[in-house]
Amino acid sequence: IDLEIGTDARVAAASDAIAGTLNYEQLAKRLLEFVGEAQYQMVEALATAIGGIVIREFGASWVKVSVAKPGAIPAARDVGIVIERRRADYPTP
């Protein structure tokens, strides 16, 4: 899993403090826990769920999620998907 995350880093850049930006350590822990318990059959569904966590729980304005599945095709190193999502893709319930 690889992520590119859109967030406003101006406060963190000015203060040089983690409190001003997205906490990557907390995000990594949350995603490790989530992926460890997830039972998705499709990488598309997993990538979409990960995007929802990054945006809903961590306040990102956009996210690009890449999920690879090693060994899915014998002659390939891995196969996967890349998705891009914005806040509008995850409306508040």
Under DSSP, the state recorded for 41 is: S
69 annotated active-site = yes
Nearest alpha-carbon partner for 62 in 86, 84, 90: 86
Helix or strand or coil: residue 16? coil
Under DSSP, the state recorded for 7 is: -
Which of 40, 69, 83, 89 does the annotation list as catalytic? 69
Positions marked catalytic: 69
